[in-house]
Structure 1
Amino acid sequence: MSGEHASRQLIDDYARGDATMAADTVWALEAHLETCALCRGHLAACVSTEAPGIAALVDTVRAGLEPQLDAAVRAPSRRHRPRWVAAWLTPVMAPWLAMTVLVTLMALLLDAVARPVFLGGVSPVLAIAPVLPLCGVAASWSRGLDPAHELTASTARAGLPLLLRRTAAVLVVVLPALLVEGWLTGTMTAAQWLLPSLAFTSTALALGSVVGVTRAATGLVGAWGVVVVLAWATDHGPVDLERVLQPDQLPSWGLFLALGIGAVIARRNAYSTL
């Protein structure tokens, strides 16, 4: 790569299918070609001169498909979706995010009608707030829930950047909802749940580089569920949920968050193979 465009020699080698090209060079070139019309034009010219067999194959396929495409019934036009939506969200994230917000509303209802006797007086919203973003994170990177998973995973932009964009999209929806519900209940400050939420999210991403993001997020939600059940069953015995989420525990949650971020950075190259 030189300047803002790929070199002509690099494009020639790519068009010929040069097997000696490094994998990271190929991925960098493909990512550049997605956004550079000039280099794509050079690639098209190189294919016709450097790989005439491929050009002939494309022409043959086009000639065979054009009559069928002309005779096919045109599908109704779909409403145009901005490119940034596809870069930040998957088609299945909207219902999962709606479900996550619905869970927070149900917790708010419980808080209003049953908090004095529920979890020893701890707000149900506070009990689920630390792991609530994990529901959306698990859905945003689930192989089974993304119909375009194989296509997405094969692109040069797959990996940690895409995962971080989808995680940010989840946080943008979930965190404001929790802020509003904390304000409505009057018993939950952002200091009690915001840092734990971010700590759990970063840990899910870090563990996801080893076992998969969906498995990691699901496992952390289950572990926190055990903590909540123990807090309810022991009635402020071995596990004091309210104590765990007090502001004086922020240094511990901050360390938790820093370790998660450090692990994500250290294993940043592992996400392209998930």
Structure 2
Amino acid sequence: MTGEHASTRTIESYARGGTDLVADEVWAVEAHLEVCRVCRDRLSAAVGAGVPAVAALVDTVWSGLEPRLAVTATMPRGRHRSARLSRWLTPTMVPWSAMVVGVVLLALLLDLAGTGSGEVSLVLLFAPVLPVLGVAACWSRGLDPAYELTASVPRAGLHLVLRRTASVLGVVVPALLVGGWVTGVMVAQWLLPCLALTAATLALGGAVGVTRAAVVLTAVWAAAVVAPTLATSRTVFALQTDALPVWGLVLTLAIGVVTARRGAYSVLVAHR
């Protein structure tokens, strides 16, 4: 990209199929073309001059579609909103988010009833992994009916993964804030591990897939933290305030890995 428009080399390469462009460049070009009429006209000219077979195919398809589009009703405003909403969540995220909030409420009720795990709040015990479950649900082949379509386009990389992760945190964190406030748990004590595990899920997800990473980290948390805590009724180191610097380091490293490997999220296999 040069200045406000794509370079001639980039436009011509994209017109030929973009095989010599990296995924980030393809994503940037497509995002720019959506809002720049000048570059769309340049792309049209490049296709006509450099790839006449494609131009002929487009003209053939357009000649068949144009009469139908002329008599087709425009999309209702509500569907426009639904299309924008799909950038942030999938239909299956709604029940999953409700389930996660339900777990928070159940843990809160058990804490208030005094049936928790001794000196450890159940809200504190489960808070760090609840967003991880939501992240797994928001990018799962089995839970998103439009998964293949969404994951195969260039703009379905890290940008979309972060949007959906933010939507999960936007639901879970307020519920945990209420639960932590009622039970008297310090915010940093659950929020930092929560963010660290979520970032670690994305970091590991760039290599093995977001869903698999979430399953692995949840299993590790259950074995290393939940099981010992329930067995001994004592606060393990991971839940103590002394562990906060460690969680901060994990969060920083995970963000660094996600940033360094941001191109990995543009590959379909990275989301499995």
Could you say whether these structures have the same fold, taking a TM-score greater than 0.5 normalized by the shorter chain as the test?
Answer: yes
Which moves more between the two structures, 94-103 or 211-220? 94-103
Q: Mark the runs of 5 or more structure 2 residues left unpaired by the alignment.
A: none
Percentage identity across paired residues of the two chains: 57
**2:260 is the alignment partner of 1:266:** yes
Q: What residue is the counterpart of 1:211 in the other structure?
A: 208
- Contact persistence 2:128–2:190 (CA under 8 A): yes
Q: What residue is the counterpart of 1:86 in the other structure?
A: 86
Deviation at 1:78, TM superposition (A): 6.6
- Tell me the TM-score normalised to structure 2 length: 0.83
Q: Structure 2: how far apart are the matches of 1:261 and 1:18?
A: 29
Deviation at 1:160, TM superposition (A): 2.0
CA RMSD after TM alignment = 2.8
**Structure 1 residues 46 and 71: alpha-carbon distance in aligned structure 2, compared to 1, 3 A threshold:** same
Amino acid at match of 2:231: A
- Contact persistence 2:197–2:251 (CA under 8 A): yes
Q: Secondary structure at the match of 2:5?
A: coil
- Contact persistence 1:131–1:197 (CA under 8 A): yes
Deviation at 1:178, TM superposition (A): 0.6
Deviations 1:114-135 (A, max 9, x none): x3x4312422211111111111
Deviation at 1:190, TM superposition (A): 0.5
Q: What residue is the counterpart of 1:101 in the other structure?
A: 101
Number of residue pairs matched?
265
**Structure 1 residues 91 and 34: alpha-carbon distance in aligned structure 2, compared to 1, 3 A threshold:** farther
The 5 A counterparts of 1:42-191 are 42-64=42-64, 77=76, 79=78, 80-81=80-81, 84-113=84-113, 115=114, 117-185=115-183, 187-191=184-188
Deviation at 1:13, TM superposition (A): 4.3
Q: Mark the runs of 5 or more structure 1 residues left unpaired by the alignment.
A: none
**2:243 is the alignment partner of 1:249:** yes
**Structure 1 residues 66 and 184: alpha-carbon distance in aligned structure 2, compared to 1, 3 A threshold:** same
Q: Structure 2: how far apart are the matches of 1:165 and 1:222?
A: 25
Q: What residue is the counterpart of 2:195 in the other structure?
A: 198
**Structure 1 residues 39 and 184: alpha-carbon distance in aligned structure 2, compared to 1, 3 A threshold:** same
